[in-house]
Structure 1
């Protein structure tokens, strides 16, 4: 995701932390539904964007959907926040202006 506009931010698990999209170099979606992002730094810090659970798991391509959403927002003006939502049994990414 390197090279995306710095105006796109992603809410981490629980909305307590926000990660700049262009700081992410790798996304990993594991079998429990946990989505982690490795940040671009020497310490190889990882941030949990979505906690895994025994309940409803996001789709297998949920990390790719995030990349698509960030790429689309990178072409728009202004800063945006992207966050995961589970509504009506469906996982999706929503965005809002900051």
Structure 2
């Protein structure tokens, strides 16, 4: 039986790929607003979860918000999908059941 976080998936910046949350070992939010995740493997693969933009920079704690959401969702039952969303109130994480 896998860990609860194995049922939490995160959509990459372009929406083409999904990353299992328990495969992430490092999350980095750089000065441009680009959010990347380093995966747990020997190649140290990094994927972009959000591309930076001067006009739509996420909040400085956006990576911490993701960690908080994944932690909360790991305690729920069933597979969950998490993605970044920007609306009139700014950037936030949203989840949906798979």
Tell me which interval the TM-score lies in, with the shorter structure as reference length. over 0.9
Per the alignment, residue 19 of structure 2 pairs with 19
Distance in structure 1 (CA, Å) of the matches to 2:56 and 2:89: 7
Distance in structure 2 (CA, Å) of the matches to 1:96 and 1:19: 15
Per the alignment, residue 67 of structure 2 pairs with 67
Whether the 8 Å CA contact 1:80–1:95 is kept in 2: the answer is yes
Per the alignment, residue 51 of structure 2 pairs with 51
Whether the 8 Å CA contact 1:9–1:18 is kept in 2: the answer is yes
Query: What residue ranges of structure 1 are gaps of 5+ in the alignment?
Result: none
How many corresponding residue pairs? 96
Distance in structure 1 (CA, Å) of the matches to 2:14 and 2:41: 23
Provide Cα deviations, 1:11-66, integer angstroms capped at 9, x if missing partner.
Answer: 00011110000000000000000000000000000000000112110000000000
Q: Aligned in 2, Cα 1:73/1:48: closer, same or farther, shift over 3 Å?
A: same
* TM-score relative to the length of structure 1: 0.94
Distance in structure 2 (CA, Å) of the matches to 1:29 and 1:89: 20
Query: What residue ranges of structure 2 are gaps of 5+ in the alignment?
Result: none
Give runs of ≥4 in structure 1 deviating > 3 Å.
none
Structure 1 vs Structure 2 CA RMSD: 1.0
Whether the 8 Å CA contact 1:25–1:37 is kept in 2: the answer is yes
